[in-house]
Amino acid sequence: MTSNDFNRFVDEWLFAYEIAANKSVPSERAVSFVFELMIDYPIESVIAAIKQYCKTNKFAPTPSDIISLLETGNKRPTSDEAWGIVPKSERESAVWTDEMATAWLSASVLYYDGDKIGARMTFRAVYERECNESLVMNKPIHWCLSRGDDKAHLKTIVERAKLDGKLAHHQAESILLGLDSPKTNIVALIAKSGVEESKKKNIAAMCRGLLAEIERVDAEEEKKKIEKEESEKQRRLELIAIAEQQLAAEKAANDDIQEEQTA
């Protein structure tokens, strides 16, 4: 999480206390302290853990309750699971961990050379070594996107990662919006940004005006292009007509000469 996530975290944390059986209200200092304890975890994962806790517990959560759930969700995939996740072609996308990316870098040469068994063995060895080092160094799991060329597959992967909390909501939305036309995405991006609510409408209105102007200019340019093409086409037809007239005149003149010679 970042400082920008604090208000969102406070809302979720206080609501969990509001609906709890004991209905105690934590102090501002306590909430700030809990936020600091969980700051290394993505906000989406924290909120998901709070909701998951509230489903099965009637009392308000403690930091250790939520961190325990987060650590369970923070467990790294097995080497076999990781092998199934890594993208093995340029068209495939994947949301994978740093350890997977490092292991695949070592194994990919063998894989593309046709030695898939050797590639898998290499991947497993490097991946397990990297995971062990991360655990020793208490390094939190880090999920990131490996983008492929297949947009449909990319969309599916990102939407799944957003639901699983592997990608932050705003990060996933930005990627998904980027799959569409950039012109139509500007206003949507403003709506989902961290801009103050009071300013969003004005900024969105300005963006709509700019988009309308861009579309108007594009339409004029397209119209000019069509008119130019039509003008050039008409000019070519006129030149062809002139050439045909000249050829007809020359043919007529030649015919006259031949008739005179025959006579």
pLDDT digits (tens, 9 = 90+) for 118-164: 999 999 999 988 887 876 676 778 888 888 888 889 999 999 998 88
Nearest to 123 by CA among 101, 145, 90: 101
Query: Is the pLDDT higher at 216 or at 14?
Result: 14
pLDDT of the residue at 166: 86
Helix (H, G, I), strand (E, B) or coil at 179: coil
The percentage of the chain sitting over the pLDDT mark of 70, rounded to a whole number, equals 80
Q: Looking at the DSSP assignment, which residues form a beta bridge with residue 97?
A: 143
Q: Which one-letter amino acid corresponds to residue 168? A: A
Q: What is the CA radius of gyration of the chain?
A: 33
Q: Looking at the predicted structure, is the pLDDT value of residue 218 above 60? A: yes
The percentage of the chain sitting over the pLDDT mark of 90, rounded to a whole number, equals 32
Please give the Cα distance from 251 to 249 (Å, whole number): 5
pLDDT of the residue at 135: 64
Q: Predicted confidence band at 183 (pLDDT cuts at 50, 70, 90)?
A: very low
Max Cα–Cα distance, the chain, nearest Å? 126
Query: Are 111 and 88 within 8 A, CB to CB?
Result: yes
Q: Predicted confidence band at 201 (pLDDT cuts at 50, 70, 90)?
A: low
pLDDT of the residue at 34: 94
What mean pLDDT do residues 234-251 have?
77
Q: Looking at the predicted structure, is the pLDDT value of residue 36 above 80? A: yes
Query: Are 211 and 187 within 8 A, CB to CB?
Result: yes
pLDDT of the residue at 107: 92
Q: Looking at the predicted structure, is the pLDDT value of residue 101 above 60? A: yes
Please give the Cα distance from 49 to 69 (Å, whole number): 6
Query: Are 154 and 101 within 8 A, CB to CB?
Result: no
In eight-state DSSP terms, residue 113 is T
Query: Is the pLDDT higher at 43 or at 61?
Result: 61
Total-model pTM: 0.46
